[in-house]
Amino acid sequence: MQNSVISRTGQLWKLAVAVILLLVGSIVPAFESSGMSWTVGTILAVVGYAFGVYAIRCPDCGNRWFWSAALDASWYGPLFRKPACPACKREFGGR
């Protein structure tokens, strides 16, 4: 994960925000005491997913990695394991 292209391009926080929103939106409404309705939860989850898809992109070629991964699941492996953009093959150095 540390060597993934996502963390090397400094976009790990965007992924974290997207995942947290997705989790909160799909888990918190299950607890009645939380006071969060399923409508609000669904909106949170959708916003989180959309944010991840639109905000995480290659700084070089602009490819939206998670959009591409949504269309072709074989992208997930390289995104999380390789330091290079799966679209333009540009390798990003560590920070």
For tokens 């591409």, the residue is 68
- Choice between 19 and 88, CB closer to Zn ion: 88
Residue 66 — φ and ψ, nearest 5°? -80, -20
Q: Residues for the chain: how many in total?
A: 95
- Choice between 20 and 88, CB closer to Zn ion: 88
CB of 18 to Zn ion, least distance (A): 19
- Give exposure, 17-44, as e/b (b: 16+ Cβ within 10 Å): bbeebbebbeeebeeeeeebeeeebeeb
List contacts with Zn ion (CB under 5 A): 58, 60-61, 85, 87-88
One-letter amino acid for residue 6 of the chain: I
CB of 62 to Zn ion, least distance (A): 7
- Choice between 29 and 66, CB closer to Zn ion: 66
CB of 52 to Zn ion, least distance (A): 17
- Choice between 19 and 61, CB closer to Zn ion: 61
Query: What is the rounded distance in angstroms from the CA atom of residue 2 to the CA atom of residue 56?
Result: 16
CB of 7 to Zn ion, least distance (A): 15
